[in-house]
Amino acid sequence: MNKAFTKESDDDDDALTPTPSAPRLPGGKNYITPQGYARLRAELLALIDEERPRVVDIVHWAASNGDRSENGDYLYGKKRLREIDRRIRFLTKRLEIAEVVDPSVHAGSDQVFFGATVTYADDEGIERTITILGVDEADNSLQQVSWVSPVARALLKAREGDELTLQTPAGLRTLEVIEVRYPSRDS
């Protein structure tokens, strides 16, 4: 049968596109810093208040032009609306389960907790500095790791000067905590 005579749902792309799934978190907790929460909330509000209405207007205009089957603006707009709606649902769910933790309450402490910036040396003497943040805000390119990552889980609750072991695919590594810093309460 010719494709022109078959009914295709607008949701066909959804079946092929996986929904971004949130990682399973220990205890169901979704720790996040106040700054990370504000960034996610700002993204959600921008999608709802700015981008979605703009795309709806484009789709409405494109639909009024007639034949929708060959109308690129209409087809792309509908696809973009599904992407926006999927992201809105994802952000809404993540913000609902978010547990905001202010790392500045630990300022001055030498123990590693959520939000700490930790400098450590491995058994080869290579020093690294990482910041332990929430799953939704960590960016590896900025030396930020999620609190559920193996290195963060190994470092949590350690103190300056402590040596600990980290299981890696290459085997056990020894890490020494050199320095622990937190943002000041003023910032």
| Structural domain count, the chain | 2
Q: Which domain holds residue 133?
A: 103-181
Asked which of 100, 125, 156 is the last residue of a domain, the reply is 100
Is the pLDDT score of 115 beyond 80? yes
> Residue 122: which of 150, 153, 151 has the closest Cα?
151
90 and 71 both lie in a single domain: yes
**Count of C-beta atoms within a 10 Å radius of residue 182:** 20
Task: Kindly calculate the radius of gyration of the chain based on its CA atoms and give it in whole angstroms.
Answer: 23
Output the pLDDT for position 19.
Answer: 44
Taking the C-alpha atoms of residue 94 and residue 22, their distance in angstroms, rounded to an integer, is 8
Query: Helix, strand or coil for residue 53?
Result: helix
Is the pLDDT score of 136 beyond 50? yes
Give the tens place of pLDDT for each residue, 2-48: 444 444 444 444 444 444 455 555 556 789 999 999 999 999 999 99
35 and 95 both lie in a single domain: yes
Give the tens place of pLDDT for each residue, 56-67: 998 888 888 877
Pair of tokens at residue 4 = 């022109």
86 and 63 both lie in a single domain: yes
**Within-domain flag for 11:** no
Taking the C-alpha atoms of residue 23 and residue 146, their distance in angstroms, rounded to an integer, is 11
Output the pLDDT for position 27.
Answer: 57
**Most distant pair of Cα atoms in the chain: their distance:** 73
Taking the C-alpha atoms of residue 4 and residue 141, their distance in angstroms, rounded to an integer, is 47
**Average pLDDT for 125-154:** 93
